[in-house]
Structure 1
Amino acid sequence: MSSESAPLWDLPEPSRPAPAPKAKPARAKPAKASARLGQPRKGQQRPAPELPVARVVVDIPLAHLDRPFDYQVPEKLHEAAVPGCRVRVRFAGQLVDGFLVERSETTEYERKLAFLERVTSSEPVLPPALHAVCRSAADRYGGTLSDILRLAIPPRHAKAEGEPPREPAPPPEPPERAAWAKYQAGPAFLDALVQGRPANAVWQALPGEDWPRRLAEVATTVAARGRGAVLVVPDHRDLARVHEACAELAGADAVVALIAGLGPAERYRRWLAVLRGAVRIVVGTRAAMFAPVADPGLFVVWDDGDDLHLDPHAPYPHVRDVLMDRAHATRSSLLVGGFARTAEAQFLVESGWAQPVLAARPELRAAAPRVTPVGEDFDVARDEAARAARLPAVAFEAARQAFGAGAPALVQVPRRGYVPGLACGQCRTSARCRRCAGPLTLPGGSVDGAPKPPACRWCGVPETAFRCPACGSVRLRAVIVGAKRTAEELGRAFPGVPVRTSGAAEVLASVPGKPALVVCTPGAEPVAEGGYGAALLLDGWALLGRQDLRAGEETLRRWMAAAALVRPAASGGRVVVGAEAGMAVVQALVRWDPSWHAGLELAERRELGFPPAMRMASVEGSPGAVAELLDDLPLPDSGELLGPVPIGELDDEGNAARERVLVRVTRADGKALAAALHDASARRDARKAAEPIRLQLDPLALI
C-alpha cells in the first residue's frame, strides 16, 4: 500500500529524535445525551431548546426507506419547524425534500444526528389527520408513503402561499329534503347526517334524476352543521355540474372545486383554502379523495365503476376504497352513488357495512324510459343509409318519433373514429397491409372529390388495390362502424336533421332540446335540455364480447348512463339496445334493476374467487424479475399463484419480454399480502435490482 493511501497508523516512523514527554491530559467526562444529539462547540449550530428531534419523511420512493428519519432542529429554525411543514434535509450526501411529521425530546438513533438544512415553508401542509390517511392508503396498496404524498399534496406555490388567508364562509342554511322522500331509506340517511351519526349508503339514482342537485343537498346538510364534505366525480363535466349545484345551495364561498387541470397557483390556492378550514364543501376529480377538509362529516363518490376513479400512478389507489377508509377512521358517513351498481358496492351492502337507498317500484316505473332489446337478426330499416349503418327498423322508428316530438335522439357507438377495422366483404377475413401485416382502416375524408383509400394503421401506407389472400375478393366491409362513420350514414338516413358527434377530444357537455342526432362513444354522452326522446345503443356485442372480467358490469353501467338521459316512457322516451333479450345484463336494463345484476356478478365472483370476494395482486415485469420477486415473497396461508402468463407479443421461440402473475388471498389476509409485497419491494430496492417491476393490488383488469 502506498503512503498516499495508507492510514496514518501504517506509516513508518520518521527518522528524528523522540519528542519530550507531555503532561498527562485530564480524563474526559462521559458524553451526555445532548452531545449525542450534536451539542455544538463554539461556532457550531445549537439544537432547539425544546423538542430538538424532528422526524422527517423524505421524498424518496424506495420501499426500504419508507419510514421517518430523525434529524436535529437547529435553534434558528425552532419556531419555523412546525409539524407538517416542508423541509430540506441532507440524505445520503444529497439535499432532498421532506415533510416534518413530528417533533420529540429524544431519539433512538445511536449516532450523532444531522441538522435540518432549512424549512422550505412553515405552512403545515401535512397535518396529523392527512398523514394518517396517506399512511393508511400506502399500507392498503403495499406502496410507499412518499408516493401517496405526491398524489395528496400539490406542489408548493410560494406566491399563493403568501397571500392573505381566505375568510371562512358562514354555515349555509339547511336545504330542502323533499326530493329524497322518493327513495326508501333516503330520509333516514339525511337524518343521520343532521344528527352527526355515521351512516354508509349505496344510492341508486332514478333515471332522469338531477343527481348533482341531490349530492349538493346532502353536502349542504352536512355543511349546515359546521362539518366538511368531500364529493368526488369522474370527470370535469360532472365536476362543473356538481360545483354549480353546491354553489347555488351553499353559496359560492362555501365550496371549492379541485381538479388537476388547474394551474399550479390556483390549484394550490384552493387546496390551502381547504386545509385552513375556509371552505366546508370540496368537489373534485380523482385527486380530491385526499382533500384535507376540516372535521369531515361526509364522503361521496359518484359512479364508482368509472375507471377514471383509479389513479394511474403507483400504488394505484381507488377513490372508493380511500374514501371508505377515511369514513371509517373519522366516524363519518360515506355515500356511493350512481345509476348502476358495481360488485364492490354490492359487497358493501351484502356485508351490512352500507345500506341501500332505492326508489320504490312505482317511482321507478314513472321515471324510466321504455327499453326494447333487439338481437343480431333484427329487421334493418328500409332506408339505404340506415341499412349501411346497421340501424334496426325499431331504432329508426324510435328516432323519427323523437324528432316528431321536438327532442334529440342519442346514438351510442362503442368505437370512436371512422371505421375502426376492415375485413373482406366475402369471407370476413381481416384486411391486412401487404407491407407490414398491420390492420387496414378507412381514414375518412376525400381527395379531389374521391374517398380516401384504405390505409394501414401501423405504417400508414395506403392500400389502393386490395385483394383478399383467402378468397381473392376485392370488396371490403367494416368490422365495427365507428362514431364518425355512423354519423355520416345516419345523416343520410335523416336528411335535414342536424348531426353532432361527441367523443375523444371533442366531448360535448350539453345539447339543446331540439331535433338532432347526437352520435357519441360511451362515456361522452352530453346532457340534453328536457331529455332525449330516444337512445339507440348500437353494437352491444362489441361491449359484451370483450375479454374482461367486468365486461357485463361495465356494459350495463354505460348503457344505464345513456338511458338515464332519456325522457320517461310516459313522455315518449324510448331506448333501443342492440343485444339479445335473454342476457342477464339486458334484462337488468329492461327492468332497470342494476342491484339484481350486481348480486349475480358478486355471486359469480365468489364462486370463481375473484375480487371483491377475494383480494388479488398483479405482478408484472420481465420473466426473471417476476420469478425473483416471487421466490422472495412469503405468501399468507391462503395465498395462491395464478400464472405466469405472457404479456404482449411472443418471439420466435414462444417467449415474452414481460409476464404477469396474479396472487390471490382471502380478504382476511389482504393486509398481510400488502405488507409482504411491500417488504419484498424493499428488499429489491435495497439490493438495487436493475429490472423494474409493477405491483398493483386490486387491479381493475384481470384478463
Structure 2
Amino acid sequence: MSSSEPAALWDLPEKPPSPKAAPSRARKPPKPGQKAKGAQSPAPERPVARVVVDIPLAHLDRTFDYLVPEKLHEAAVPGCRVRVRFAGQLVDGYLIERGETSDYGSKLAFLDRVTSSEPVLPPSLQAVCRAVADRYGGTLSDVLRLAIPPRHAKAEGEPPVSPAGPPEAPDTTAWARYQRGPAFVEALAEGKPANAVWQALPGEDWPRRLAEAAGAVAARGRGAVLVVPDHRDLTRVHAACAAVVGEDAVVALIAGLGPAERYRRWLAVLRGAVRVVVGTRAAMFAPVHDPGLFAVWDDGDDLHLDQHAPYPHVRDVLMDRAHAAKASLLVGGFARTAEAQLLVESGWAAPVLAERTVLRSAAPRVTPVGEDFDVARDEAARVARLPAVAFEAARQAFAADLPALVQVPRRGYVPGLACGNCRTPAHCRRCAGPLALPGGTLDGQPKPPACRWCGVPETAFRCTACGSVRLRAVIVGAKRTAEELGRAFPGVPVRTSGAAEVLESVPGKPALVVCTPGAEPVAEGGYGAALLLDGWALLGRQDLRAGEETLRRWMAAAALVRPAAAGGRVIVGAEAGLAVVQALVRWDPAWHAAQELGERRELGFPPAMRMASVEGSPDAVAALLEDLPLPPSGEVLGPVPIGELDEEGNAERERALVRVSRAEGKALSSAIHAAAARRDAKKATEPIRIQLDPLDLI
C-alpha cells in the first residue's frame, strides 16, 4: 500500500441502527445503465484526489485518497480547501494532487465539498511546509496551520489587484561601507544566489539597507521576504520599502491585522500582485512568486521562535526556503548569534561587515564600570546608584541638547532587597517574607522597605548574617529608576518605555529615556549617551544564551548612540574583564560569537549539536524515551524535574534532552516523529511537548 490510504477505512457510522427501528421500504434495484437515486459519479478525468486532513495526529501525517464527484470536477483544483468525511466526521483539508488511480483496491469515499477553489497551497508552499515538518519532527497539518491564514470569504471574493511593474533599481552605494557589501547587492541584482551574515554598523539606517536589497531583486521581477521581530521594526522597514519600490509593490503581514485584512493581503502575495513582503514571524511562509531574497533582522530575538507546534524558527525556515528556491539569504543584526556564526564558519554564508577604521568612526565610546564604582558626589545621584562617569556622560548629553538612554533589566519597582554588605536576602522580622521597596513617598521621603507577604514596614533593618544596616536592590525596575533619576537631574524630562507602554521614537531634545531591554525608542539624531545599568542581572541569568542575549541587547541600545567623534558615550554596568563586555567595548560581536560557538562545541549544545526536548509527566516522558530509537551518536540527558516538588520530592512534570551530532539531525527528527506517531496510534491521553533545537535549555 502506498503512503496514501483511503478515507473509506475511517468512514464508519456514528451510531449503530436501533434494533427496534422499523424496517425501511426496500428500493428496487436500478435498471442497467441507470444510476441509483443520490448516487454520485466520479470525475471523468483524474478522479482520485489526495488530501491532507487537518488532524494533528502524527500517525495520520500522510495523504488520504478520495474520489472527486463529477459535479466538483472543475472546482477541485490542486491546492484548494476541501471538506471530507473522516472517521465519521466532516473535517477540513487541502487537496494536494489529483490522479487516475489509487493503490487501495476497495471503494473510496467522495469529497464532501470544495470550500473554495482558490489554490491556497501551491506546490512550492507545500514543499516548504513538508520540509519544515520533517526538520522539526512535526506534522504537515501543524505547519499548514501556521503558513495559511484562515479563509475570509468576502476578501476572497474581491477582484484581484493588478500587479505593478518592476520598480527601478535602487541606489545601493551605501553598501560600499561593508566588505563584500557591493558584491552581495550585485549578486541580488543579477539574480545569483548569495548567502550573507550582515553585521550592521552602529547608527546604521538598517531598514533602508534592507529595502535596497529587496529593491534590487524586485527590479528583476523577483520577490523578497523581510522578517523583523516586532511591529515597531515592521513600521520602519515597511516605510523604507515603500520609499524604494513604491506603495503598491510592498505589503506588510502581521498577525494583528484582523482576519479580513490579513487574508486580503496574503491573497495579494499569493496572486503575485506584490513582490516585496515585510512582516513579523507570521510572514516567514509568505508565498511570494519567484523569490530572490529572504532576510531576517536580529535573528537572536526570541520573538522569531513560533510558540505553536512544531515550534519553527524564522531563520531556519528562511534558510530552507532560500536553499529550495535557489534564492539568497540575508541574516542581519548589530550582534551575531552562534547559529549565524556556524553559517559563516561552514562556508554556507559570507560575512558582510565593515573594516575596523570605518567601525571606529561610527561606534560610540564604551566605558565599563564594575560594582565598585565611584558614586557621583551629587546626593541625588548617590540615591540613584549612579556612577560618577555615568552622571557626567548624561550631563554632557544634556549640555549638547541631546537625550540620554537608560536601560534597566526589569520593569516596575524593586522586586527584592539584600544586605548591602554580604548580599544576604533581606527578610521580614515578623514573617520571614522578602523585603521590597513599595515605591512612592511618605511626608516627602521615600517609603521604607516593606514585607511583600504581610506588608509590615521595616524601619530598622539589620542583617542577620553580618549585622550590617545597609540595603541594596537585587534588581531595580524601570519605574523606580525613573523616579530616582528624576531627582538626580531636576528639570530634565523623564520618559519611560516598556511593557504595555513602548515608545517608537523620541525627539532629539534633552530628556532621560528609561526603558527595558528591547523597548528602546529611536531618537532623532541619536542619543548623546546610553547608561546600561545592572549588567550583572542580565549576565547572571541561568540560561545557556545569557552572554549572547546580553550582548545583543546592549548592542541594540548602544547602536542608537551618536559616534564617539560626536560625543556619544555608552556606560555599561559590568566588569571590564568579562568577554561580553570586551566584545561591546571593541564592538566585535563576531569574536564573541566564535567564542560562544566554540564553547557550545565543547559542551555539546546547539547549534554544534541537534537537540530535542521532551517535556511532560514522568510516565509520559519515560514511555516516549523507551520507545525512541536513537542514532549512533544519540545521548539522553535527564530527565530532570520541572517546577516545584511535592513533599516526597517528586515533580508533576519532567524534561529530558536528547542530543545527536548535526550529521544525524535528520535521523533524530525522523525518530521523534515515528515515536510520536506510535504514541498517538495507542491513543495516549497524557499531553507531552516535543521540541527540536529549543532556545531555552536551562
Fold shared per TM-score above 0.5: yes
Question: Which of 464, 475, 479 is equivalent to 1:470?
Answer: 464
CA distance in 1, matches of 2:441, 2:489: 22
Partner of 1:332: 327
Partner of 1:363: 358
Question: Do the aligned partners of residues 437 and 626 (structure 1) sit closer, same or farther apart at CA in structure 2, a change above 3 Å counting?
Answer: farther
- Report if aligned partners of 1:454, 1:462 keep a CA contact under 8 Å in 2: no
- Report if aligned partners of 1:174, 1:224 keep a CA contact under 8 Å in 2: yes
Matches within 5 A, 1:118-197: 118-197=113-192
Question: Do the aligned partners of residues 434 and 78 (structure 1) sit closer, same or farther apart at CA in structure 2, a change above 3 Å counting?
Answer: farther
CA distance in 1, matches of 2:180, 2:38: 70
Task: Compute the displacement of 1:646 (Å).
Answer: 1.1
Partner of 1:19: none
Question: Do the aligned partners of residues 656 and 535 (structure 1) sit closer, same or farther apart at CA in structure 2, a change above 3 Å counting?
Answer: same
Q: Give the letter aligned to residue 602 of structure 1.
A: L
CA distance in 2, matches of 1:435, 1:79: 79
1:317 aligns with 2:312: yes
CA distance in 1, matches of 2:117, 2:516: 48
- Report if aligned partners of 1:389, 1:481 keep a CA contact under 8 Å in 2: no
CA distance in 2, matches of 1:372, 1:629: 51
Question: Do the aligned partners of residues 574 and 95 (structure 1) sit closer, same or farther apart at CA in structure 2, a change above 3 Å counting?
Answer: same
Question: Do the aligned partners of residues 205 and 100 (structure 1) sit closer, same or farther apart at CA in structure 2, a change above 3 Å counting?
Answer: same
1:631 aligns with 2:623: no
Question: Do the aligned partners of residues 455 and 111 (structure 1) sit closer, same or farther apart at CA in structure 2, a change above 3 Å counting?
Answer: farther
Question: Do the aligned partners of residues 433 and 92 (structure 1) sit closer, same or farther apart at CA in structure 2, a change above 3 Å counting?
Answer: farther
CA distance in 2, matches of 1:51, 1:513: 67
Return 417-426 or 275-284, whichever deviates more: 417-426
Question: Which of 67, 75, 95 is equivalent to 2:70?
Answer: 75
Partner of 2:300: 305
Partner of 2:107: 112
Question: Do the aligned partners of residues 240 and 540 (structure 1) sit closer, same or farther apart at CA in structure 2, a change above 3 Å counting?
Answer: same
- Report if aligned partners of 2:384, 2:488 keep a CA contact under 8 Å in 1: no
- Report if aligned partners of 1:419, 1:442 keep a CA contact under 8 Å in 2: yes
- Report if aligned partners of 2:448, 2:458 keep a CA contact under 8 Å in 1: no
Partner of 1:547: 542
Question: Which of 567, 570, 582 is equivalent to 1:587?
Answer: 582
CA distance in 2, matches of 1:267, 1:330: 25
Partner of 2:22: none
Q: Give the letter aligned to residue 627 of structure 2.
A: D
- Could you list the per-position Cα deviations for residues 362-396 of structure 1 after superposition, in whole angstroms to 9, with x for gaps in the alignment? 11111011111111111011122222222110000
- Report if aligned partners of 2:463, 2:469 keep a CA contact under 8 Å in 1: no
Give 3-state SS (helix, strand or coil) of 1:56's partner: strand
Task: Compute the displacement of 1:129 (Å).
Answer: 0.6
How many residues end up aligned between the 2 structures?
Answer: 669
CA distance in 2, matches of 1:347, 1:435: 54
Give 3-state SS (helix, strand or coil) of 1:648's partner: strand
Matches within 5 A, 1:595-606: 595-606=590-601
Return 247-256 or 546-555, whichever deviates more: 546-555
- Could you list the per-position Cα deviations for residues 530-587 of structure 1 after superposition, in whole angstroms to 9, with x for gaps in the alignment? 0000011111111111111111111111110001000001100011111111111111
Partner of 1:13: none
Task: Compute the displacement of 1:507 (Å).
Answer: 0.6
CA distance in 2, matches of 1:42, 1:390: 87
Give 3-state SS (helix, strand or coil) of 2:594's partner: helix
Question: Do the aligned partners of residues 653 and 433 (structure 1) sit closer, same or farther apart at CA in structure 2, a change above 3 Å counting?
Answer: farther
1:101 aligns with 2:96: yes
Question: Do the aligned partners of residues 366 and 308 (structure 1) sit closer, same or farther apart at CA in structure 2, a change above 3 Å counting?
Answer: same
Q: Which runs of 5+ in 2 are unaligned?
A: 1-15, 20-31
- Report if aligned partners of 2:597, 2:608 keep a CA contact under 8 Å in 1: yes
Question: Which of 339, 343, 348 is equivalent to 1:353?
Answer: 348
- Report if aligned partners of 1:642, 1:663 keep a CA contact under 8 Å in 2: yes
Matches within 5 A, 1:421-500: 421-424=416-419, 428-432=423-427, 439-445=434-440, 461-464=454-457, 470=464, 477-500=472-495
- Report if aligned partners of 1:412, 1:522 keep a CA contact under 8 Å in 2: yes
- Could you list the per-position Cα deviations for residues 321-355 of structure 1 after superposition, in whole angstroms to 9, with x for gaps in the alignment? 00000000010000000001001000000000000
CA distance in 1, matches of 2:211, 2:356: 25
Partner of 2:336: 341
Give 3-state SS (helix, strand or coil) of 2:164's partner: coil
Q: Give the letter aligned to residue 464 of structure 2.
A: A
Question: Do the aligned partners of residues 155 and 387 (structure 1) sit closer, same or farther apart at CA in structure 2, a change above 3 Å counting?
Answer: same
Given the two structures, how large is their TM-score scaled by the length of structure 2?
0.92
Task: Compute the displacement of 1:442 (Å).
Answer: 3.5
Give 3-state SS (helix, strand or coil) of 1:663's partner: strand
Q: Give the letter aligned to residue 563 of structure 1.
A: A
Task: Compute the displacement of 1:208 (Å).
Answer: 0.4
Partner of 1:375: 370
Give 3-state SS (helix, strand or coil) of 1:359's partner: coil
Give 3-state SS (helix, strand or coil) of 1:184's partner: coil
1:267 aligns with 2:255: no
Question: Do the aligned partners of residues 544 and 629 (structure 1) sit closer, same or farther apart at CA in structure 2, a change above 3 Å counting?
Answer: same
CA distance in 1, matches of 2:224, 2:686: 43
Q: Give the letter aligned to residue 156 of structure 2.
A: E
Question: Which of 516, 519, 525 is equivalent to 1:521?
Answer: 516
CA distance in 2, matches of 1:612, 1:234: 21
Given the two structures, how large is their TM-score scaled by the length of structure 1?
0.92
Question: Do the aligned partners of residues 700 and 381 (structure 1) sit closer, same or farther apart at CA in structure 2, a change above 3 Å counting?
Answer: same
Question: Which of 378, 383, 388 is equivalent to 1:393?
Answer: 388
Q: Give the letter aligned to residue 161 of structure 2.
A: R
CA distance in 2, matches of 1:476, 1:119: 69
Task: Compute the displacement of 1:191 (Å).
Answer: 1.2
- Could you list the per-position Cα deviations for residues 435-484 of structure 1 after superposition, in whole angstroms to 9, with x for gaps in the alignment? 98764433434689786676666x6x523357779368887542211111
Question: Do the aligned partners of residues 541 and 48 (structure 1) sit closer, same or farther apart at CA in structure 2, a change above 3 Å counting?
Answer: same
CA distance in 1, matches of 2:674, 2:172: 50
Question: Do the aligned partners of residues 450 and 372 (structure 1) sit closer, same or farther apart at CA in structure 2, a change above 3 Å counting?
Answer: closer
Task: Compute the displacement of 1:432 (Å).
Answer: 4.9
Task: Compute the displacement of 1:428 (Å).
Answer: 3.8
Question: Do the aligned partners of residues 303 and 677 (structure 1) sit closer, same or farther apart at CA in structure 2, a change above 3 Å counting?
Answer: same
1:663 aligns with 2:658: yes
CA distance in 2, matches of 1:448, 1:573: 39
Give 3-state SS (helix, strand or coil) of 2:255's partner: coil
Q: Give the letter aligned to residue 132 of structure 1.
A: A
- Report if aligned partners of 1:453, 1:462 keep a CA contact under 8 Å in 2: no
Give 3-state SS (helix, strand or coil) of 1:168's partner: coil
Partner of 1:233: 228
Return 319-328 or 427-436, whichever deviates more: 427-436
> Percent identity, aligned pairs only?
83
Give 3-state SS (helix, strand or coil) of 2:256's partner: coil
Question: Do the aligned partners of residues 164 and 379 (structure 1) sit closer, same or farther apart at CA in structure 2, a change above 3 Å counting?
Answer: same
Give 3-state SS (helix, strand or coil) of 2:654's partner: strand
CA distance in 1, matches of 2:615, 2:296: 29
Q: Give the letter aligned to residue 442 of structure 1.
A: L
- Report if aligned partners of 1:502, 1:518 keep a CA contact under 8 Å in 2: yes
CA distance in 2, matches of 1:323, 1:285: 13
Task: Compute the displacement of 1:6 (Å).
Answer: 14
- Report if aligned partners of 1:64, 1:683 keep a CA contact under 8 Å in 2: yes
Task: Compute the displacement of 1:504 (Å).
Answer: 0.7
Partner of 1:616: 611
- Could you list the per-position Cα deviations for residues 8-37 of structure 1 after superposition, in whole angstroms to 9, with x for gaps in the alignment? 9xxxxxxxxxxxxxxxxxxxx9xxxxx9xx
Q: Give the letter aligned to residue 112 of structure 2.
A: E
Return 464-473 or 675-684, whichever deviates more: 464-473
1:556 aligns with 2:531: no
Question: Do the aligned partners of residues 145 and 448 (structure 1) sit closer, same or farther apart at CA in structure 2, a change above 3 Å counting?
Answer: farther
- Report if aligned partners of 2:428, 2:458 keep a CA contact under 8 Å in 1: no
Give 3-state SS (helix, strand or coil) of 1:601's partner: helix
- Report if aligned partners of 1:99, 1:126 keep a CA contact under 8 Å in 2: yes
Question: Do the aligned partners of residues 326 and 380 (structure 1) sit closer, same or farther apart at CA in structure 2, a change above 3 Å counting?
Answer: same
